[in-house]
A and B are shown apart, each in its own frame.
Chain A
Amino acid sequence: MVTTVMRENELKIKITLPQATEVKKLEKKSLVSYIYVGEPRPMYAAKFGSEPRIQLNDAISDLVDIRDFIASEREARDEAEVPFMTASLKVDENTKMGIVSDIKQSLRDAQALKINYSTRKGTKK
């Protein structure tokens, strides 16, 4: 069925989410910050190369930017809501874990401990 999807931001990278069965719904969308990881789309490949990159909001970013990103996301929210904020990792299934581990490490350093591995809901085998 055709429906409207409100896009939060324009993706400059390709993402095919992995499938999982034990998924939970993500609650309170306003408290979720998205981190995208994947190979840059062909039109951006000349600028950013073909290795998987991180996208925060609208821009392709580096690992060091995550700290500032989390800080700015926190600033935008009410102080009482900060402990409930979730970082949703939307990562392409063919990405290597190295970059994901680095992101997890910087999220730990930034005290953003609640994370969510975004997946498609798959069928039970």
Chain B
Amino acid sequence: MAKREVPEINSSSMADIAFMLLIFFLVATTMDIDTGLARMLPPPAPPDIDNKAPLVQEKNIFVVLINKNDQLLVEGRPIELDFLKDQCKEFLQKTDQPNFPDSETKEISLIGRFPVSKGVVSLQNDRGTTYGRYIEVQNALVAAYNEVRDELSMEKFGRKFDELSEESQKAIKEAIPQRISEAEPKRIGGK
């Protein structure tokens, strides 16, 4: 009996096809992920409201001013940007001490009674401030909030804020509300 040869598929073009596919997907992949700092604007003020700001005690406000030369004035003292985050953190964490904000003890689910700081960060810039500087300052303030939240999450749940379940995140957010208020800019630096 004659030996039957096993038929083989010609696979010499397999590599070509694989490379074509590879190159096609390499080129057609979009990697354009948009990132940024998310913010909520305050709703427009009703026209009949009187322009008095709600009374907030001075020690409850962390005042950050940026002038038209991009210099920072924090709580009445000029400082460098590098120190802003730590100073803001200190403001958020210390409560009921002289010169630090008051607190209000609230019952929060999953955490229990927690002294919630009444502190508000107030940011005011000039119309001449550059946008890059403004973002740097915003970033430092958000970083301060995130670190304070992370530390509380570690203490209460043993994990970082981003890794928590939605309910725990909500509890942490309630314990440390992000209050950044932006005042209308000044008109010293022109357009």
Contacts A97-B125, A108-B44; A18 near B30 (Cβ below 8 A):
no
Instruction: Assess whether B35 is in contact with A118, with CB atoms less than 8 Å apart.
Output: yes
Chain B: minimal CB distance from A64 (Å):
16
**Could you tell me which B residues sit within 8 Å of A by CB distance?**
26-44, 82, 125-132, 134-136, 138-139, 142-143, 146, 184-185, 187, 189-191
Asked whether A35 is an interface residue with its Cβ less than 8 Å from the other chain, the reply is: no
Contact of A21 among B125, B128, B129, B139 (CB under 8 A): B139
- Docked pose: A107 CA to B191 CA in angstroms: 19
- Docked pose: A113 CA to B44 CA in angstroms: 9
Chain B: minimal CB distance from A121 (Å):
5
- Docked pose: A98 CA to B127 CA in angstroms: 4
24 examples of A-B residue contacts, CB within 8 angstroms = A1-B26, A3-B31, A4-B27, A5-B30, A18-B135, A22-B146, A26-B33, A51-B191, A93-B131, A94-B130, A95-B130, A96-B130, A98-B128, A98-B187, A104-B41, A107-B41, A108-B41, A108-B42, A111-B43, A113-B41, A115-B38, A116-B34, A118-B34, A119-B36
A68-89 with Cβ < 8 A to chain B: 86, 88
Asked whether A45 is an interface residue with its Cβ less than 8 Å from the other chain, the reply is: no
Contacts of B36 in A (CB 8 A): 20, 23-24, 26, 88, 116-119
Contacts of A5 in B (CB 8 A): 30-32
Contacts of B130 in A (CB 8 A): 93-97
Q: Contact mask A1-16 → B, CB, 8 Å, 1/0?
A: 1111110000000000
- The majority secondary structure among interface residues of chain A is mixed
Contacts of B40 in A (CB 8 A): 113-115
How many residue pairs link A and B with beta carbons under 8 A? The number is 141
- Docked pose: A115 CA to B135 CA in angstroms: 13
Instruction: Assess whether A116 is in contact with B27, with CB atoms less than 8 Å apart.
Output: no
Contacts A98-B190, A99-B191; A115 near B39 (Cβ below 8 A):
yes
Residue of B nearest to A102 (CB): B127
Residue of B nearest to A125 (CB): B82
Minimum-distance CB pairs A-B, first 10: A93-B132, A98-B127, A26-B34, A23-B35, A118-B36, A20-B139, A18-B135, A18-B132, A97-B129, A22-B142
Instruction: Assess whether A119 is in contact with B43, with CB atoms less than 8 Å apart.
Output: no
Contacts of A111 in B (CB 8 A): 43-44
Asked whether A25 is an interface residue with its Cβ less than 8 Å from the other chain, the reply is: yes
Contacts A96-B128, A111-B44; A3 near B139 (Cβ below 8 A):
no
Contacts of A39 in B (CB 8 A): none
Contacts of A6 in B (CB 8 A): 30, 32
Asked whether A123 is an interface residue with its Cβ less than 8 Å from the other chain, the reply is: no
Instruction: Assess whether B31 is in contact with A116, with CB atoms less than 8 Å apart.
Output: no
Contacts of A92 in B (CB 8 A): 131
